[in-house]
Amino acid sequence: MGRSLNVAIVGATGMVGRELLRVLEQRRFPIAGLRLLASARSAGSLMRFDGREYTVEETTPESFAGADLVFISVSSQVSRELVPIAARAGAVVIDDSKAWRLEPDVPLVVPEVNGETLSGHRGIVATPNCEVAPLVLCLWPLHRRNPVRRVVVDTYQSVSGTGWAAVEELKEQTRAALEGREYRPQVYPHPIAFNVIPHVEPFGEDGYTREEAAIVHETRKIMGEPELAISATCVRVPVLVGHSLAVHVEFERPFDPHEARELLSQAPGVKVVDDPAAALYPTPLQAAGDDLCLVGRIRRDSSCERGLALWIACDNLRKGAAVNLVQIAEELLARNLI
């Protein structure tokens, strides 16, 4: 690649922000200069990157001067405000929020699937929801062989998808439950310790949550199939890191599970873990820390002769977020789009 970039990270102290720093370091992303940005509350704190110490600064409209590339991992509301400012300052912005993903002129990218859509970017690129990246990574190689017609997904999502406060809540609430103490839920509307909650993001009029709608619309956009039939139930489970998905896919024609396993084992970004007799299948604990999306339990769907059932687990902070963000940046460099 040769070229090094001036990089800014907004939301550097968040869960994804911290993971992003690790990924940039591990993948030796070519950084000329680095600015770590956050809210006023986090400003002044120190973070290490590549052996150096950086002071986190408060994000202001002037923070983006001179930046070639800005990663933004903050709430949708804040992202809506900051992304245009950073883009107008001349940077390419890669955004992790829900704010821009469905905008027609914003590429929504999983590089292994639709990296070529980056060529149309106008300064803003979005990374998908943390379940969507693993889902499309597994659907895409199958879809190219035998078109996907319908997808049913039920998720098992870890609390790190919500952020630090949720991780602390799960730990503290679990301690309290084990000791028989009361602990009033603060982050979630119900206790998450030793419980599951079928409520990820707010509900819409149609009874689906914003997270479930995101799976539908983002998967369609990334796969370039605007009518694809998808239904999801998104469920928060008491897991710290790693999202899992039970997936039932209907294809145009019957799909031999052996062929599907073979295709997935050659697919970029995917690792097949599928030897049930030896108790080998993906679990979130195993996926945590891995940059690949794990898939297993690949079998015929017993309710549909043109169907397959799959089980996926993926580190929601890495391939579900930080790794994909960095891969998008690498792809922009490789395609001379930055």
Residues labelled as active-site residues: 130, 243
Q: Is 8 in the site for a second copy (CB under 8 A)?
A: no
CB of 160 to a second copy, least distance (A): 11
In angstroms, the CA 201 to CA 117 distance is 28
Q: Which is nearer to a second copy, 7 or 228 (CB)?
A: 228
> Given the complex with a second copy, which of 121 and 217 has the nearer CB atom?
217
Cα separation values, 175 from 36, 145, 180, 192, Å: 34, 48, 9, 12
Pick the stretch among 69-77, 129-137, 304-312, 325-333 that binds a second copy (CB under 8 A): 304-312
Binding mask 162-181 for a second copy (x = CB under 8 A): --------xx--xx--x---
The answer to whether residue 257 forms part of the interface with a second copy (CB under 8 A) is yes
Q: In whole angstroms, give the CA distance from residue 314 to residue 295.
A: 9
Candidate list 80, 297, 306, 335; residue touching a second copy; CB under 8 A: 297
Which residue among 87, 216, 314, 329 contacts a second copy (CB under 8 A)? 216
Per CB under 8 A, contacts with a second copy among 309-328 are 309, 311
CA distance 36 to 12: 6
Taking CB under 8 A as the criterion, the residue among 210, 300, 306, 335 binding a second copy is 300
Q: Shortest distance, CB of residue 295 to a second copy, whole angstroms?
A: 11
> Min. distance of Cβ 103 from a second copy in angstroms?
22
Could you give the 3-state DSSP secondary structure of residue 309? strand
Q: Provide φ and ψ at 284, rounded to 5°.
A: -65, -35
Q: Least Å distance between CB 317 and a second copy?
A: 15
* Least gap, CB of 250 to a second copy (angstroms): 9
Least distance (Å) between residue 269 CB and a second copy: 21
Examine residue 265 and tell whether it contacts a second copy (CB under 8 A).
no
Residue 72, strand partner residues: 10, 95
Size of the site for a second copy (CB under 8 A): 59
| 57 near a second copy, rule: CB under 8 A | no
Query: Which DSSP state fits 117?
Result: G
102 binds a second copy (CB under 8 A): no
Instruction: Confirm or reject binding of residue 284 to a second copy (CB under 8 A).
Output: yes
Using CB under 8 A, which of 27, 80, 150, 220 touches a second copy? 150
Nearest residue (CB) to a second copy, 75 versus 233? 233
Residue 41 contacts by C-beta under 8 Å, 6 or more apart in sequence? Answer: none
Burial class (CB in 10 A: 0-12, 13-18, 19+), 122: exposed
17 versus 307: smaller Cβ distance to a second copy: 307
- Binding to a second copy by residue 197, rule CB under 8 A? yes
At closest approach, how far in Å is the CB of 40 from a second copy? 31
Chain contacts with a second copy (rule: CB under 8 A): 150-152, 154, 156, 170-171, 174-175, 178, 189-191, 194-199, 203, 206-208, 216, 229-233, 235, 237-240, 244, 246, 248, 257, 276-277, 279, 281-286, 296-304, 307, 309, 311
